[in-house]
Amino acid sequence: MTPALAFAAAVALGGLALASRTSSALHHVAVGPSPLGRARHGELTSFVTGLGRSRWGRRLSPSAELERRLILAGRPWPAEALAGAKIASAGGAFAVGVLLAFGSPALFLLAPIGVAVALRGPDLVLARMASARQDRIEAQAPELVELLVATTEAGLGPPVAFRRSAEALGGPLGQELRLAELEIDLGVPWRAAMDHLLDRTEVTSLRRLLGALSRSQRLGTSVRSTLKTVADDLRTERQTRAEEQARTAPVKMLFPLVFLILPAFLLLTVGPVLVATIRSLHSG
Mind listing the pLDDT tens digit for each residue in 273-284? 888 888 888 876
- Same domain flag for 151 and 125: no
- Same domain flag for 141 and 101: no
- Same domain flag for 191 and 226: yes
Mind listing the pLDDT tens digit for each residue in 224-283? 888 889 988 888 888 888 888 888 888 888 888 888 888 888 888 888 888 888 888 887
Distance CA 55, CA 52 (A): 8
Cβ(80)–Cβ(60) under 8 Å? Answer: no
Q: What is the CATH number of the domain that holds 193?
A: 1.20.81
The closest of 151, 105, 132, 118 to 8, measured between CA atoms, is 105
pLDDT of residue 27: 37
pLDDT of residue 6: 44
The CA angle 55-61-64, to the nearest 5 degrees, is 155
209: buried, middle or exposed (CB in 10 Å: 19+, 13-18, 0-12)? buried
Cβ(174)–Cβ(162) under 8 Å? Answer: no
Cβ(158)–Cβ(217) under 8 Å? Answer: yes
Report in angstroms the alpha-carbon separations of 193 from 62, 136, 189, 190, 197.
Answer: 25, 21, 6, 5, 6
In a domain? residue 264: no
In a domain? residue 182: yes
Last residue of a domain, one of 84, 108, 131: 131
In a domain? residue 179: yes
Last residue of a domain, one of 131, 149, 166: 131
For 208, the domain range is: 136-238
- Same domain flag for 182 and 97: no
Distance CA 91, CA 214 (A): 51
In a domain? residue 164: yes
Report in angstroms the alpha-carbon separations of 71 from 23, 53, 74, 210.
Answer: 28, 20, 5, 20
pLDDT of residue 134: 94
pLDDT of residue 117: 83
- Same domain flag for 122 and 188: no
- Same domain flag for 116 and 161: no
Could you give the number of structural domains in the chain? 2
Mean pLDDT, the chain cut into blocks of 10 residues (284 residues total): 44 45 39 44 64 66 75 83 80 82 78 82 88 93 91 87 88 92 91 91 91 86 88 88 87 86 87 86 76
DSSP string, 60-91: T---HHHHHHHHHTT--S-HHHHHHHHHHHHH
pLDDT of residue 197: 93
